[in-house]
Amino acid sequence: MTRTVYVNGEYLPEDQAKVSIFDRGFLMADGVYEVTSVLDGKLVDFDGHAVRLQRSLDELHMAAPISKEDLLAVHRELLRLNDVTEGMVYLQITRGAPDDRDFVFPDAETTPATVVLFTQNKPGLANSPEAKSGMKIISIEDMRWGRRDIKTVQLLYPSMGKMMAKKAGADDAWMVQDGYVTEGTSNNAYIVKGNKIITRALSNDILHGITRAAVLRYAQEAQMEVEERNFTIDEAKEADEAFITSASTFVMPVVEIDGVSLGEGVPGRVAPRLREIYLDESRKAAV
Ligand code: PLP
């Protein structure tokens, strides 16, 4: 089945959807994005993603080209047209396509933003075998720019990090800055020591994960202790457990860091429990 995608107000077959070669997303990575997961044909935490999108746009001085209500309608229409019950919706907004390449921002009056959305059908996403076996990660230096709190499409370094992990026989990389773990290539990073969940505090150094916010809330509601502070890779290697969170992986246990097995080398008690709670609550609240 050919996927139907959304480009600037139109629903089109994916092979007919086009964006200009002068689009600033293409030439300058001048764009922001969101990925919203889909469970039971519904959107998980759409509100959270809409709020973060607005913040990303504000930080880059871009006007929102579409209202939150219309955005929700487009998400839902794409799910319907593509018959998606489990998977993701990808949304990207760029500063549009001026007449020529120029470092100066184009006038928003004459250069409308480019809005693109498409679905990714992933049956079995919630039942991923990786959640049972756990992930292996390596550590790499964090060489990204200083505004990682803005969800921009500058994903070259995270993509290179993922390739470094694959080459090393691992699943993902955690990035380290000044000796402390920032986050994973496309996820937030956590360790567990005793009954305590430890994760880096929010700042410009990491993306403010929508899944992170929900998981920390559920953890506290379940009487687990949460400590938001820096941790090193050495501390992580000695942790009882570790895990990541993101919209597309939910909560995923980590069982190995730089070749060192955590605990018994299999998912522990906390990460699988949090995954279960997160999936249950997300299904209930999905729209
Ligand atoms: N950190 C980074 C660098 C990411 O790219 C992502 C998701 O893409 C996350 C964290 C997790 O964010 P969310 O839970 O909103 O998907």
The pLDDT tens digits for 112-123 are 999 999 999 999
Task: Among 142, 207, 249, 252, name the best residue to mutate to test ligand 1's pocket (greatest count of ligand atoms within 8 A of Cβ).
Answer: 207
Could you tell me if 138 and 165 are in contact, meaning their C-beta atoms sit under 8 angstroms apart? yes
List the beta bridge partners of residue 6. 11, 117
| Confidence class for position 190, pLDDT limits 50, 70, 90 | very high
Task: Among 187, 190, 206, name the best residue to mutate to test ligand 1's pocket (greatest count of ligand atoms within 8 A of Cβ).
Answer: 187
Q: What is the pLDDT of residues 46-66, one digit of tens each?
A: 999 999 999 999 999 999 999
How far does residue 178's CA lie from ligand 1's centre (Å)?
21
Identify the residue whose tokens are 């009954």.
Answer: 195
| DSSP 8-state assignment for residue 103 | S
pTM: 0.97
199 lines ligand 1 (CB under 6 A): no
Query: What's the Cα-to-Cα distance from 254 to each of 23, 35, 128, 200, 237, rounded to whole Å?
Result: 38, 22, 14, 16, 11
Q: d(Cα 231, Cα 177) in Å, to the nearest integer?
A: 11
Neighbours of 132 (CB within 10 A): 11
Q: d(Cα 227, Cα 259) in Å, to the nearest integer?
A: 26
Q: Which of 92, 79, 83 minimizes the C-alpha distance to 49?
A: 92
Q: d(Cα 141, Cα 160) in Å, to the nearest integer?
A: 12
